[in-house]
Structure 1
Amino acid sequence: MSTTSPETRLQLFTSVLAAVRTGIIVFDGEQRVVLWNRWIEQHSHLPASSVLGKPFGEVFPDMADGRTHIAIREALRNNFASLISQSLNKAPFPLFAGPADAASGTRLQQAIHVMPLEVAGLPRHCMVQITDVSTAVSRERKLREMAVELESQTLVDGLTGIANRRHFDLHLEDEFRRAKRTGLPLSLIMIDVDYFKDYNDNYGHQRGDECLVRIAGALGAVLNRSRDLLARYGGEEFAVILPDTGCDGALQLAETMRAEIEALELEHGHSGTATRVTVSLGVSTMAPDLLANSGSLIHAADRALYQAKRSGRNGVAVYNDEQAAKV
């Protein structure tokens, strides 16, 4: 049996209240403050002597009739406990980490638990427990940001900085579905760097990487619509998705891209086509009602690209519905 006297227990209780790193406010049946611990003093910058005996609405006028105030009334009247949603009520109490945050109005992120208290011989009281969750919220935010960054990295080609194959596949499916809904044409350009293996073998892989980066930059500079997508399809192959674009528009853009790469004047003394780096391009355009799936568009562009290569490279070939022709 404990021999601790009531006076000693009261002293211990007072010391515990002062030591805990949690805010404790107790209201009586009239919603007046009857307890205001040291943590609350530190973060509200209000000494207990200035608030004891005052009603909730006077101490926190901006919170009157808000979610926390309603929870306190429910605890006092109906003996209901409440856990205030942190996602919906991130920082209801004006509590601050320090003077600088108070000056800027940056509040602590808070988790709030409202609990009714039965006190022998007295009307029901209510305790509000406030926990600083700023660190946890900040950690969660950083994790979300890292997840978003990681996801974005999985959609970007590490060498050229343009969309990668996965991004291409996802975007093509989105635009295919959109074309089905709108009935507007969808075009695709497949691009291959001519004799790139010979370039790598003779100039080295570092020069080869630099060449691909320059090509990606030149191709991307031609596009100016937000839904157009340039992607590195694989190795020295690139692909361009052109929503709401007919055959004539796609063909004109492909020829512009071909000329832009030639204008870079990147030396290629081992090409079977020219003395500089060139590209071959295959264009496919189909109305959505003729497309069984997005793979049909890729297959058609591949056929056109093959035709461009077989016809001497450094050129554009187009596949439109049932025909492929050198342009």
Structure 2
Amino acid sequence: MSLHAPRRLLFSFCTLAILAIGGFLSYESWQLYRSELDRVQSSLESETVLLAEHAQLAFATANRLLADIAWEQHQGTMVSSLNSRPMQQRVMNTTQFVGLVVTDEAGASVYAVTKRPLPPDSFANLSNLQAHRLGASLIVGRPLSSGGEASRVIPISQRLVDNQGKFAGVAMVLLDAAYFRDFYRNVIKDQTLRISMLHRDGSVLSLYPSPPNELPTSAEGLAALVSTQQADTLRLVSPLDGSERLAAYRNLQQWPVAVAISLGHEAFLNELMPAFRRNGILFLLFAGGGVLCTMLISRSMGEVYRARDDRTMALREQASTLQLCHAIASRLPNGRVFVLDRQYRYEFVEGHLGDNCPALEPSAMLGRHIDEIYPVETVSKLKPLIANALNGQESEGEIAYRGRVFRTFGTPLPDDDGRIQRCLLLSQDITQFKADQALLVTMNYELHRQASTDGLLGIANRREFDRRLEQEWQRSLRERQPLSLLLLDVDYFKRYNDAYGHAEGDVCLQQIATSVAGVIQRPADLAARYGGEELAVLLPNTDLEGAQHVAQRIHAHQAELALSFPESPIASHVTVSIGVATAVPLVDDAAAQLVEHADQALYAAKEAGRNCTKAMPSNPEAGLSFLKRLA
């Protein structure tokens, strides 16, 4: 019988096996790439939600100031209001404001207050004057700069009309671009990320990290993308520097502004390179082992057809091949290769598991049973892998040993006749990889906690309150249970700030927030900062009587806290006014109605002299017990 046919069959099988292993590892690498890509895109999308909400608040603050000025102009009291100290303090004490400029209908400045000298082209933005004269109400202009990103400002202008509805000039608030950049630096710790704020006309309003040179003036390519839909994640070539990036963006509601966050595709691939290298090493190991085994089998087959005097030469060649196997396995950077017989004894051990890895030397393991080397808990995990491999099944698993974690692969090694007398094990130390995964989970949790907590008071912020209100509203709608809301306002807090300063005012708010948070006991209850010196307490499954009881306890705690306030016209200590509203949600109702009724009740408490609680039900079902008690 010719030797060529068996050899062709052997090499064909080896080639198919190598291709199969290569295909499997390539598919695994592709799946890893896709899963990490989905994770990164999801993370970027979550970050854009936080950044958009922060920008929305900053622009809304400017809008409120401009709306107040427009109202004063309509009422004919704008000049006196602008020249008042409260208006100047309002501009100077708002972090994101650089200044305020007001002009008459001809474009001449009638009022200006700024924190620093403005760029030379600041009033050039009044080219929007004609657009306002023609009816444009609110315009976000192109950014202004006197050189360098640190001096960039973002102009927002409002059309002014008099009490007869005629055009009366323009009010313009200047936002500090550095305010947004500092926020991005404090919230986003990953220096590989790039965060930008864009006008929909392509103007770059803010960019972090700061560019090495002058900030680009526009990015029309990205502007064309963000104008197509509210939010998206995509892979693109950045119009700012031409690099390929993974990006997510979100448009602000009611503003022609979008925020975007991106990660360089090259940096993303660098994070995956250790896994890709591992798969490459595995492929080389299996391919090299397959080729070497095929060569050994082919040479053994050749020995049958050769004369007896050639056996000595064949044995030398086999010894050389075995040395090559040892040389390859001993140079693995972070892995060890084992061959075990059916009695679970080591026949071959080679490789390196790292300097700090607790493992015996290969020579000390040869011929020994696994029970003689490892503790019982390790053997209980290792034996199933070996058993599966000896039964002809490939398997893998994670095995803990002396404080380390090893990823172990088991593969059967059949003899020439197809019987499996031994198996191959490959172990790799993945302890650091597992630790990095745990650290990533911890960082994500901390980011979520910071995003939902008010930085000053340590209780829930407005964003978390809005989310929980909608969640509890829908749950109460399903279960037909009452939902109560308390709105608290510190009485005469402006006088307190004027008397003791804003620093003491912050301490006062912190003590009140701690006191209010100490009143509520149930896990489902929520204390949150609603805005300024206003706090909110959300009480699920609580009727109007129960909500009033909580309000009485808050008043009692404030009396016990006894924060000194001699300047108060109603008491010697700091007091609060409370508005209470309760509703059993109906299908056509909205959660905003509960907030509106609580606000009305708070207004009634202030009208009644403050330091008291006023309550009202938001619908007949919630007010049934309330009306019975009144009767």
| TM-score normalised by length of structure 1 | 0.78
Could you say which residue in structure 2 is the equivalent of 1:113? Answer: 409
Could you say which residue in structure 2 is the equivalent of 1:34? Answer: 347
Alignment equivalent of 1:197, drawn from 448, 471, 494: 494
Could you say which residue in structure 2 is the equivalent of 1:175? Answer: 472
The answer on 1:278 being equivalent to 2:579 is no
Measure, in 2, the Cα distance between the counterparts of 1:49 and 1:110. 20
Considering only CA atoms, is the larger Rg found in Structure 1 or Structure 2? 2
- Decide which moves more: 14-23 or 278-287: 14-23
Could you say which residue in structure 2 is the equivalent of 1:131? Answer: 428
Mapping for residues 232-247 of structure 1, pairs under 5 Å: 232-247=529-544
Check 1:40–1:144 CA distance in 2 against 1; reply closer, same or farther (3 A cut): closer
Mapping for residues 198-217 of structure 1, pairs under 5 Å: 198-217=495-514
Alignment equivalent of 2:609, drawn from 307, 312, 324: 312
The answer on 1:25 being equivalent to 2:338 is yes
Unpaired stretches in structure 1, ≥5 consecutive residues: 97-105
Check 1:204–1:63 CA distance in 2 against 1; reply closer, same or farther (3 A cut): closer
**1:22 maps to amino acid:** G
User: Does the 8 Å contact 2:593/2:618 carry over to 1?
Assistant: no
**1:169 maps to amino acid:** D
- Decide which moves more: 284-293 or 167-176: 284-293
Measure, in 1, the Cα distance between the counterparts of 2:327 and 2:541. 72
- What RMSD over aligned residues (CA atoms) do the two structures have, in Å? 3.4
Could you say which residue in structure 2 is the equivalent of 1:52? Answer: 366
Give the drift of 1:209. 0.4
Give the drift of 1:215. 0.6
- Decide which moves more: 20-29 or 37-46: 37-46
Alignment equivalent of 2:456, drawn from 144, 155, 159: 159
Q: Which of 1 and 2 has higher RCO (CA within 8 Å, sep 6+)?
A: 1
Measure, in 2, the Cα distance between the counterparts of 1:257 and 1:280. 10
Give the secondary structure class of the aligned counterpart of 1:109. strand
Give the drift of 1:228. 1.4
Give the drift of 1:127. 1.6
**1:137 maps to amino acid:** K
Could you say which residue in structure 2 is the equivalent of 1:14? Answer: 326
Measure, in 1, the Cα distance between the counterparts of 2:354 and 2:370. 16
Could you say which residue in structure 2 is the equivalent of 1:103? Answer: none
Could you say which residue in structure 2 is the equivalent of 1:260? Answer: 557
Give the secondary structure class of the aligned counterpart of 2:468. helix
Could you say which residue in structure 1 is the equivalent of 2:590? Answer: 293
Give the secondary structure class of the aligned counterpart of 2:446. helix
Give the secondary structure class of the aligned counterpart of 2:487. strand
User: Does the 8 Å contact 1:212/1:236 carry over to 2?
Assistant: yes
Give the secondary structure class of the aligned counterpart of 2:473. helix
Give the secondary structure class of the aligned counterpart of 1:37. strand
| TM-score normalised by length of structure 2 | 0.43
- Decide which moves more: 131-140 or 217-226: 217-226
User: Does the 8 Å contact 1:57/1:63 carry over to 2?
Assistant: no
Identity %: 35
- Decide which moves more: 27-36 or 173-182: 27-36
Check 1:123–1:63 CA distance in 2 against 1; reply closer, same or farther (3 A cut): farther
**1:153 maps to amino acid:** Q
Measure, in 1, the Cα distance between the counterparts of 2:430 and 2:576. 57
Check 1:250–1:122 CA distance in 2 against 1; reply closer, same or farther (3 A cut): closer
Measure, in 1, the Cα distance between the counterparts of 2:604 and 2:511. 25
Measure, in 1, the Cα distance between the counterparts of 2:354 and 2:502. 65
Give the drift of 1:285. 1.1
Measure, in 1, the Cα distance between the counterparts of 2:542 and 2:566. 36
**1:52 maps to amino acid:** L
Residues 104-137 of structure 1: per-residue CA shift (max 9 Å, x gap): xx3x112222234467789554221111111111
Could you say which residue in structure 2 is the equivalent of 1:185? Answer: 482
Could you say which residue in structure 2 is the equivalent of 1:302? Answer: 599
Measure, in 2, the Cα distance between the counterparts of 1:47 and 1:259. 72
Give the secondary structure class of the aligned counterpart of 1:190. strand
**2:608 maps to amino acid:** S
